[in-house]
Structure 1
Amino acid sequence: MAEVAVLGATGFVGSAVVEALTRRGAGVRHVRAPRLTTSARTAEAVLRAVHHGAAASVVDALSDRLRGVDAVVNAAGLATASSVATDALYGANALLPAFVTAAVSGLEGAPRFVHVSSAAVQGRAVRLDESPVTRPFSAYSHSKALGEAVVGPAGTVFRPTSVHGAGRPTTALLRRLVSSPIASVAGEGASPTPQVQVVNVGDAIAFVTLTGDPPPRFVLQPAEDLTVAGLVRLLGGREPRHVPEGLARAVVRVGFGLGGRSPRLAGPARRLEMLWFGQGQERGWLAGRWRPPAGPEGWRELW
């Protein structure tokens, strides 16, 4: 039986990973992630911090906790998408991955390392993909992009898209939006939207961790085949209002313009853009290899 160490095992995504690993017959070792802060805002500065001062003792302590496992999953981090650029945000999402990478690199047996990032690192790209290209648009997405950069080829970077589950504030917000009389989409609303259920994300990460096939450097969570209008119909039980596409784009441009002046507005502007326009994605490595355990009925159970 494979033994997998999971950092962030009690968190939103981490707990789903633990459940999926257990279902798949793996043993799970819960590893508490150290609370870190950093003023570093570049990959080079983050990597320097790993080799500075008392950092060696943190790496050694992590190595001790990870020794003997077959794989390591880092599901720890801060997931507040509208965060301002705090040292705690960059400590959790950029510095911690660097520490875990250093700890894993020092272990015998070369355990597989899966780092849980976010598709937000590709920002407003027309289509999400499994390339190293990142286009961060907020403090959160920038901190996650730095986390990917410091992991480098030492591990597999897993990119969940917009993850939802019971008890998550963003899920409650989505429920209020699609259930309200003002629920709307741009144009016909036929654009795909990358909204996914946390149970599927947890299982996909478990699959990547345990599969006998060596995963690529980047793995994108597969879509659940929803459109922006279909999401409102499925979850809100109503036909959305259809905003003229030109007007919707103008509103989004204004929102991002304001977000450029006030970082706190970048997150809400992006959420509105996603609600109206969604985002496409390329067919990734998991397509044809993995099947999600939860279908459309899983969404209804969240409501």
Structure 2
Amino acid sequence: MADWIVVGGSGFVGGAIIDALASAGHGVSTQVSPRLLADPKWSAHGIVAEASKHEDEITALASSFADHDVVVNAAGLATPGADQSPDLFGANALLPALIWLAARRAGVRTYVHISSAAVQGRRPVLDGSWDQQPFSPYSLSKALGERGLQLLMDEAPTAPLRVRIVRATSIQDPSRSTTQSLINFARSPLASVAAPGSAPSPVSSLGGLAEYVLRIGETSQAVPTVSVQPWEGQTVRDVVLQYGHKEPVQLPPALCRLMLKVGYWVSKIGSPKMDSAVRRAEVLWFGQPISEGSAGHSLGMGGHTLEAGEWAQE
């Protein structure tokens, strides 16, 4: 069995990954992530240059990573509605590059970085391509974290360190404000979907993400560097029904698109923070499919439906 270390193992996602690894018989330990600050205006080159300056943090992390086969970065700030800040970009953009530098120095075999499907924004289909369409400070910080890793890999193409970027989809939990908002919506008279409600939803389970990280971290198969957490079989109707315990109203798709168009227009001209809220409404109504070409299918995952009470958003 491989020895794993999880950066951010005391957090929501990291804790679930540790539990899954321990249940599978892997040796696993946790590492507290350093607090970093980054300028939101930095490019990927700026992120990599800044990461290389943090010699003390790299040395400390490399010492912790020694004798481990797999490093998982489950740290970061999962705050979809956050404003731009040095903390947000330090945790989501700078830290991934810092961990890569430390993992390479320590001779780690595989580095699994937990990113977010939000980096692809409003793409019709989520996939494992490098195409990004960030739409908010949070998604931009996550996208920049990926770009920094891509640049590091391009600059060291012969490095033995394998990188696996996993884009988590919409993992919900009652402790999260985004989930409480979903519950309030699903139980309100406004609970609705774009008719007929059969569009695939990216809502997924925490257990499903942990299992996917385990599979992709230990596999010897050739899998893409970037992949999306596999779809678990829920439609937009299923999601509202699960969280609201009642049938959602089916709205005409044309009406939903008109309301979204107005919402994005208002966001653009005077209320940028509305953008994330409008995007959430778009996903609740229309969903967002995940490409069947994702690595999850080659690993025998996908198509799972949540059990009652199983909560599933990074």
TM-score interval for Structure 1 and Structure 2 normalised by the shorter chain: over 0.9
**Is the Cα–Cα contact under 8 Å of residues 84 and 263 in structure 1 kept in the other structure?**
no
Per the alignment, residue 272 of structure 1 pairs with 281
Matched, 1:200 2:199: no
SS in 2 for 1:300: coil
Task: After superposition, give the CA deviation of every residue in 1:29-74 in whole Å (9 maximum; x if it has no partner).
Answer: 111100111114311111111233xx11111111111111011000
Q: TM-score, normalised by structure 2?
A: 0.90
Pairing partner for 1:181 from 184, 189, 202: 189
Deviation at 1:208, TM superposition (A): 1.1
Deviation at 1:188, TM superposition (A): 1.6
Q: Spell out the pairing of 1:100-119 with structure 2 (5 A cutoff).
A: 100-108=99-107, 110-119=108-117
SS in 1 for 2:273: helix
One-letter identity of the residue aligned with 2:282: E
Pairing partner for 2:125 from 117, 124, 127: 127
Runs of 4+ in 1 over 6 A off after TM superposition: none
Task: After superposition, give the CA deviation of every residue in 1:245-269 in whole Å (9 maximum; x if it has no partner).
Answer: 2221111112222333433211111
Segments of 5+ residues of structure 2 without an aligned counterpart are 154-161
**Is the Cα–Cα contact under 8 Å of residues 215 and 299 in structure 2 kept in the other structure?**
no
Q: Spell out the pairing of 1:216-227 with structure 2 (5 A cutoff).
A: 216-227=224-235
Task: After superposition, give the CA deviation of every residue in 1:91-110 in whole Å (9 maximum; x if it has no partner).
Answer: 000000010011112123x4
Per the alignment, residue 58 of structure 2 pairs with 59
Per the alignment, residue 296 of structure 1 pairs with 306
Matched, 1:241 2:242: no
SS in 2 for 1:235: helix
The alignment of Structure 1 onto Structure 2 pairs a total of residues equal to 299
Deviation at 1:288, TM superposition (A): 4.7
**Is the Cα–Cα contact under 8 Å of residues 207 and 290 in structure 1 kept in the other structure?**
no
Segments of 5+ residues of structure 1 without an aligned counterpart are none
Q: TM-score, normalised by structure 1?
A: 0.93
Per the alignment, residue 15 of structure 2 pairs with 15
Matched, 1:85 2:84: yes
Task: After superposition, give the CA deviation of every residue in 1:200-247 in whole Å (9 maximum; x if it has no partner).
Answer: 111111111122324320121111111112222333232211222222
**Is the Cα–Cα contact under 8 Å of residues 16 and 203 in structure 1 kept in the other structure?**
no
**Is the Cα–Cα contact under 8 Å of residues 200 and 292 in structure 1 kept in the other structure?**
no
1:301 to 1:147, Cα distance in 2 relative to 1, 3 A: closer
Q: What is the RMSD of the two structures over their aligned residues, measured on CA atoms? A: 1.9
